[in-house]
A and B are shown apart, each in its own frame.
Chain A
Amino acid sequence: MKLDLKKLKLRKVNETLQSIDPKKNNKNYTILNPEGNHAICVGLTDDIDITVKGHVGYYCGGMNQNANITIEGNAGTGVAENMMSGKIHVKGNASQSAGATAHGGFLIIDGDASSRCGISMKGIDIVVKGSVGHMSAFMAQSGNLIVCGNAGEALGDSLYETDIYIRGKVKSLGADCIEKKMDNKHLKKLEKLLKKAKLEKLKTKDFKRYGSARKLYNFKIDNVSSY
């Protein structure tokens, strides 16, 4: 089913995708002429496949549950924000705060992601084939951030239990973020996520793992210079 944003209002497009009739069993949708519109495909709950033919604005796929969304273009701020489950694939680049606060699901970005990628992430798995900007995984709580390129300044600042895997260079680490040993458990997890992103050719040994030193987990006056 084709939904043309030049002909239909955003509300109508989202309403259609939010109210799937299981009897009609239509699982495939194509959104035409997104033209950078905001809040496309937000609040979806059903296991459907959507292809967006072009660039999207802010919060595409926001709070997604179960849907499989492919964006054939670039994505604005907060793509997949607070996603719970499902999959979002950005074929181009993503702006800041990609996957912000997301609790689950899988986000793949073929290009680069800007600053604060995975900020406050709470369980999502994010794979960025390019590089990420500064403050990525800031206060990240859970889940995995995999970056095949480089990471900007203050990676993983004040993070909690998220695992970060970087293949390229890291400009600087944020407060309480350290490089950690890559053991078999982590190698297997990384391998699985790379396979899921169809990046089997990449070697897991080329990645370094970063995580929390857990020194700022409880406020201590001796750590005041780190805050």
Chain B
Amino acid sequence: MKKDKKTLPRQSWTFDEYTNSEIRRAAATGIYDIRGGGSKRRLPHFDDLLFLGASISRYPLEGYREKCSTNVTLGTRYAKKPLELEIPITIAGMSFGALSGSAKEALGRGASTAGTSTTTGDGGMTSEERGQSKHLVYQLLPSRYGMNPNDLRKADAIEVVIGQGAKPGGGGMLLGQKISDRVAEMRTLPKGVDQRSACRHPDWTGPDDLKIKILELREITKWNVPIFVKIAGSRPYYDTALAIKAGADVVVLDGMQGGTAATQEVFIENVGQPTLGCIRPAVDALQDLDMHRKVQLIISGGVRNGADVAKALALGADAVSIGSAAMIAIGDNDPKWEKDYNKLGTTAGAYDDWHEGNDPAGISTQDPKLMKRLDPIKAGKKLSNYLKVMTLEAQTLARSCGKNSLHNLEPEDLCALTIEAAAMARVPLAGTTWIPGINNK
């Protein structure tokens, strides 16, 4: 048949190439796809917001010359020793086990140099991480792997983990191939066994119990350190309100772009809310309870640069937290390992089988040979550089809006590029005064 009598082959929007490959994979293996990372789908995000900058009615500050403060204090509500950070960007919880010891060390080194905190994760506290972290947040997770009071007392803050943005309501699984002798010992389980992390805490249910759990943690640590409560972007208004009621010093809110070491793809892509849609409801809860700036709000899930930091703070957050971005900064998915990624059937930038323990970059692995690829000192330096760049970027944007502190940024400094982002962030659609759901102009 002649070409002009035949239409071009048309790919289905519904059954696209990726969807078809997943159907074939499921049919071949009989098991759902497990991967690391957060949601990869296109979601309303900080990119959909713009700063307005200064104008006749707003007076800018001189870049590099006029001060724009970045420091933040976390845990001012009850803790005798709140966490004093130089920058409002913290490193999120990532477990030793999911990550190598040298990767955890690199995160500690980078965070400390930049004047911020890092966070443990499931599996307990390693000496490398404690040793290299000036400010270390110790997570209390449902599995309580590696949880012990000696480490609890060494922590600079405690984070009670209720949920993760990648999997609200889900537990975790560290596959047997990543269970080295050291990981097995820290988690009190045999080597090579899949280690399930429960989705619920074993000794409390509901906000009234959580209040008592927090009391216990405070009593053990003599009310010295702040207690964070980490929630997933599920029901941000109510969960934030309940965390405050339970006595949290800090609420950490993780949207669905937030990463995980491993869970089902179907979970990552279909449960939770985008980070952008979570911030304003959480701030509402803080304001309704007269706790805004008294209980600090940390936002995480897809924070990548200084613009994201500035936008999150403008919407009412006190700080942000990064996990995936920190991993990339220290070498995850680096194109220099492209040949190795290809051998694993993937490509740099798309590698997410972190649970399998074959990470060419030596980060999400316990393989001694691969781990040697990561120099924790050099990787730590990269992370501190990246954190400094993010901070400078955020300062640049804040100064352009006339703010002498990142924390003076406000929703009035922003407009939105899409109706969805305008509705979620509650800022006007660009070129209008329309905030969907708030006014009809």
Contact = CB atoms under 8 A, between A and B. Distances in A.
Taking each of B31, B190, B220, B221, which has the highest tally of chain A beta carbons within 10 Å of its own beta carbon? B220
A42 B196 contact: no
Given A11-B223, A78-B203, A38 B188 contact: no
B57 interface: no
B221 A120 contact: no
A42 B153 CA distance: 13
A120 B202 contact: yes
A221 B212 contact: no
B29 interface: yes
A63 interface: yes
A18 B222 contact: yes
Contacts, number: 107
A133 to B, nearest CB: 14
A68 B312 CA distance: 49
A10 B216 CA distance: 11
Give the interface size bracket for A toward B: 35 or more
Contacts of B193: 160, 217-218
A123 interface: yes
A39 B219 contact: yes
B188 A100 contact: no
B189 A160 contact: yes
Contact of A97 (B196, B202, B221): B202
A100 B203 contact: yes
Interface string B196-228: 101000111000010011011001111100000
Given A141-B189, A158-B196, A221-B30, A59 B213 contact: yes
Given A97-B202, A217-B193, A38 B215 contact: yes
A65 to B, nearest CB: 6
B202 A43 contact: no
B221 A58 contact: no
Interface string B229-247: 0000000000000000000
A55 interface: no
Contacts of A161: 189-190
Given A58-B213, A78-B204, A100-B202, 4 more contacts: A15-B222, A63-B152, A160-B190, A218-B175
Q: Which 7 A-B pairs have the closest CB atoms?
A: A43-B220, A78-B203, A101-B144, A63-B149, A97-B203, A39-B216, A122-B188
Interface of A: 10-11, 14-15, 18, 38-39, 42-43, 45, 57-59, 62-63, 65, 77-78, 81-82, 84, 96-97, 100-101, 103, 116, 119-120, 122-123, 138-139, 141-142, 158, 160-161, 217-219, 221
14 contacts: A38-B212, A39-B215, A62-B216, A77-B204, A77-B209, A78-B204, A82-B149, A97-B204, A103-B188, A120-B144, A142-B188, A161-B189, A161-B190, A221-B29
